[in-house]
Amino acid sequence: MEPRSLSHDEAVRLLDLSHDAIFSWSEADGIRSWNRGATLLYGFTEDEALGRVTHDLLQTTHPIPWQEIEDVLAAEGEWVGQVEHRTKSGRDVLVATRHQIVVIGDERIVLETNRDITAEEQRRANELTRINRELQQHSDQLEAANAALEQFTHMTAHDLRGPVRQLVNLADLALDEDEDELGEVLRMIRSSAGKLDELISSYGRVARLERGDDDEVTIDELVDDALSQLTAPPHVTIERTLSLAADRSLMTQLLMNLLGNAAKHGAKAVVSIDAHAFEDVVHIHVRNPVDPDLHVDATVFAPFRRLASDATGTGMGLAISRRIVELHDGSISASNDDGWFVVTVTLPGAAQ
């Protein structure tokens, strides 16, 4: 069967079913046709649009001067791009447009087919913003991790210089003819070298987060050691202390993290530590004042998690703390107790 060609009315109806805004205009007579998609998009009815100059009606903003578009139209017969239109209600819409030159009789008509891409563009812009924000966060975290590493390196170098300086001096003394206690000097050389070796292995363990041999450690000496290594130590009150069996360097690192954290997050860097033992289990509470509205849950121990008030941390302090506690078969929790940020560490191995 021969396909029947559409009547004029049928063709216009089809045009009206399109969701794209399709209209045509000429230099001399303004807008010549206006489909239903154009009414839906721009809010102007066919009657309101016919005869008007498109650029006035829709307050078109072109990405390039109109003359350049004209040149492309003249040379190629069409121009494809994006323009901004203002709807009847005053909303700005971004449309992907195709301008085509259509010659009917001796009249030169521009046919515009426009698709609203405002929402699409907005989504893309939002996505870009989100990706940028994520990149910025990652970059901040890397920077902070780098700063922490730098500080660790600085601290390590500073600590190692002590015994090295002693060794140089003791060797000088051993070589000095006036030295009459050579055996004593050699004994001290042995002791400084041993101390140096101990420092180096403890850094290795902290870096790898491995538990070494247990020492008998007391909370107050751990706090002292931790405070002496912090650049901005908080003021600490020790309510009660006790001793337990644990890896000294890891425990010092734990206290450094918790106290450093408290100093950074506390409204006032005042920390109180309370330790008590119940059936061989040690409970240590580190408290510092915090915004009473700050939400605190177990996620504070996730790597790279930072509390809202902290713009400087690596987000690793509490994650490393949890790892150290786990290596000692203990547990750690945090809460916001009426404006007190409380970290509770529970460890087995209380000394009798």
Partner 1 sequence: MRAVPDGRPILVIDDAEVDRAIIRRVLKRSNLRNDIVSVDGGPAALDYIRGAAADVERMPALALLDVNMPGMSGFEVLAELKADEGLRGAFPVAMLTSSDSVIDQQAAADLGADGYIIKQAGITEFVDAINEAFEND
184 binds partner 1 (CB under 8 A): yes
238 binds partner 1 (CB under 8 A): no
Q: Is the alpha carbon torsion for 158, 160, 162, 168 positive or negative?
A: negative
d(CA 339, CA 265): 12
169 binds partner 1 (CB under 8 A): yes
- Least Å distance, CB 180 to partner 1, is 10
Which range touches partner 1 (CB under 8 A), out of 21-29, 92-100, 166-174, 290-298? 166-174
26 binds partner 1 (CB under 8 A): no
When binding is defined by CB under 8 A, the residue of 47, 106, 178, 293 that contacts partner 1 is 178
Please compute, for residue 203, the number of CA atoms within 13 A of its CA located in the half-sphere on the CB side.
Answer: 15
When binding is defined by CB under 8 A, the residue of 121, 140, 225, 291 that contacts partner 1 is 225
177 binds partner 1 (CB under 8 A): no
CB 334 within 8 A of CB 343: yes
| Bridge partners (DSSP) listed for residue 21 | 114
Estimate to the nearest angstrom the gap between the alpha carbon of 304 and the chain centroid.
8
Strand, coil or helix: 220: helix
224 binds partner 1 (CB under 8 A): yes
Which range touches partner 1 (CB under 8 A), out of 5-13, 81-89, 178-186, 199-207? 178-186
**Ramachandran assignment for 345, one of left (phi > 0), alpha (psi -120 to 50 degrees), beta (any other):** beta
CB 315 within 8 A of CB 261: no
d(CA 229, CA 36): 74
**Identity of the residue, 256 or 332, whose beta carbon is nearer to partner 1 in the bound complex:** 256
Using CB under 8 A as the binding rule, the residues of this chain from 302 to 341 that contact partner 1 are: none
**Identity of the residue, 94 or 170, whose beta carbon is nearer to partner 1 in the bound complex:** 170
Which range touches partner 1 (CB under 8 A), out of 47-55, 92-100, 137-145, 169-177? 169-177
- Least Å distance, CB 320 to partner 1, is 23
∠ Cα 303 247 219 (to 5°): 90
221 binds partner 1 (CB under 8 A): yes
Which range touches partner 1 (CB under 8 A), out of 221-229, 237-245, 276-284, 292-300? 221-229
∠ Cα 226 229 231 (to 5°): 120
- Least Å distance, CB 192 to partner 1, is 6
CB 81 within 8 A of CB 97: yes
CB 97 within 8 A of CB 74: no
> Interface residues with partner 1 (CB under 8 A)?
158, 161-162, 164-166, 168-170, 172-173, 176, 178-179, 184, 188, 191-192, 221, 224-225, 228
